[in-house]
């Protein structure tokens, strides 16, 4: 008997908002974002900065987390992703602030944006419109405009690649490092062909991962180089799959999360560990090997996902892309619409 994930009518019925189609467009959206970022007026921003703060919440913060991981250890200034009502204490006239809100109306981001102006920071805005765009335009600040019609988490290609391309133009991403972009996009093209809705489960790693997680609570453990990806898996399973999920990464997990293997067996029988590996992160891989040994004897199931590519960017984005597809397929397996966010919308109205 074939998998329900190979039934195109079932997929379309349970994905009325077109989340799978949006995920499939990732490589196309990425290329568009790079082109759009090249057109942005940045004349007022070409100066030396002491630090970069990326202010955003939820799905709008993920692009910043990915950028931080990509530039870890190679960027000349510290990068902090601020998911809060207020900026870090060190923000001042020497700080560049990216205010990121897909809607342009995120309360926390607007507060940080206002604080950045008061502290004399250089502020660049990324949004599709809303109050953030209106205020920035009045103040003659540069605004990168996202296309409308996306869920914030689904606009990740536009978010990450706009941040990356603008950072390159401002000298925060070296030309050498930017050379990884072409390989990353090629890897994403290949994965897109492998994981699209019409590709059968037998040949589709995204669908297979979803089926292996069906009925279990996912616990995600990533390599150190994939911290943002482990976080993305957790939030995508929350939002697209409508399932509880937890995440951690090594070596931090060795100091706390590992103790979950000693939980009551009745609890662990409902848990699946997902190990997301960067094959070029040798130190983390060795630790993950030992971690997997422990988990295999306690968790109901252990599933491994390996990143692809020779460059760091390809490995980060390929690992994330597999999880994005899997989360949407898992939501559909549960009979949910991956695009709906009723509980988030309810809280925003309160």
b/e per residue 160-185 (b: at least 16 CB within 10 A): bbbbbbbbbebebbeeebeebbebbb
Residues of the chain with CATH 3.40.50.10490: 4-13+198-333, 40-178
Q: Once rounded to an integer, what is the mean pLDDT over residues 52-65?
A: 97
What pLDDT shows up at residue 286? 84
Query: What digits encode the pLDDT tens for the residues 203-224?
Result: 999 999 999 999 999 999 999 9
Task: Say if CB 344 and CB 332 are below 8 A apart.
Answer: no
> What is the DSSP track for 46-69?
-S--SEEEEE--THHHHHHHHHHH
Q: Provide φ and ψ at 153, rounded to 5°.
A: -65, -25
**pLDDT at position 6:** 97
pTM score = 0.96
Backbone angles phi, psi at 82, to 5 degrees: -105, 110
pLDDT of 350 higher than 80: no
Q: Give the full edge-to-edge strand order of the sheet including 51-55.
A: 79-82, 51-55, 95-101, 122-127, 143-145
What CATH number was assigned to the domain covering residues 4-13+198-333? 3.40.50.10490
The second-level CATH assignment, the architecture, of 40-178 is 3-Layer(aba) Sandwich (3.40)
Q: What is the DSSP string of 144-191?
A: EEPPSS--GGGGHHHHHHHHHHHHHHTTSS-HHHHTHHHHHHHHHHHH
Q: How confident is the model at residue 256 (pLDDT cuts 50, 70, 90)?
A: very high
Which residues are annotated as catalytic?
Answer: 239, 255, 348
Using the predicted structure, report yes or no on whether residue 325 has a pLDDT greater than 80: yes
């Amino acid at each position: 008997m074939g998998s329900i994930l190979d039934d195109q009518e079932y997929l379309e019925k349970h994905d009325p908002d077109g989340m799978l189609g949006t995920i499939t467009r990732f490589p196309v959206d990425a290329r568009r974002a790079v082109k759009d970022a090249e057109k942005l007026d940045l004349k007022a921003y070409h100066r030396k900065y002491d630090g970069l703060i990326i202010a955003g919440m939820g799905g709008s913060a993920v692009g910043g987390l990915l950028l931080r991981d990509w530039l870890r250890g190679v960027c000349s200034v510290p990068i902090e992703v601020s998911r809060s009502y207020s900026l870090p204490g060190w923000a001042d006239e020497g700080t560049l602030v990216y205010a990121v809100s897909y809607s342009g109306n995120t309360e926390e981001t607007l507060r940080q944006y206002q604080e950045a102006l008061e502290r004399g920071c250089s502020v660049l805005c990324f949004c599709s419109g809303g109050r953030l765009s209106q205020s920035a335009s009045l103040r003659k600040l540069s605004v990168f405009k996202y296309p409308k019609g996306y869920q914030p988490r689904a606009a990740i290609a536009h978010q990450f690649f706009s941040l990356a391309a603008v950072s390159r133009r401002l000298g925060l991403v070296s030309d050498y490092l930017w050379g990884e972009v072409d390989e990353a996009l090629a890897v994403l093209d290949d994965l897109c062909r492998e994981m699209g809705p019409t590709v059968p489960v037998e040949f589709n790693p995204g669908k297979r991962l979803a089926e292996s997680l069906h009925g279990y609570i996912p616990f995600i453990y990533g390599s150190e180089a994939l911290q943002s990806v482990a976080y993305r898996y957790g939030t995508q399973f929350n939002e697209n799959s409508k399932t509880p999920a937890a995440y951690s990464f090594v070596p931090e997990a060795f100091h706390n999360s590992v103790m979950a293997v000693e939980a009551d067996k009745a609890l662990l029988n409902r848990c699946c560990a997902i190990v997301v590996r960067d094959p070029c992160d040798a130190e983390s891989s060795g630790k993950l090997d030992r971690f997997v040994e422990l988990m295999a004897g306690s968790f109901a199931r252990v599933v491994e996902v390996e990143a692809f590519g020779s460059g760091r960017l390809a490995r980060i984005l390929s690992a994330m892309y597999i999880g994005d597809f899997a989360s949407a397929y898992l939501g559909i397996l549960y009979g949910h619409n991956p695009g709906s966010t009723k509980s988030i919308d309810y809280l925003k109205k309160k």
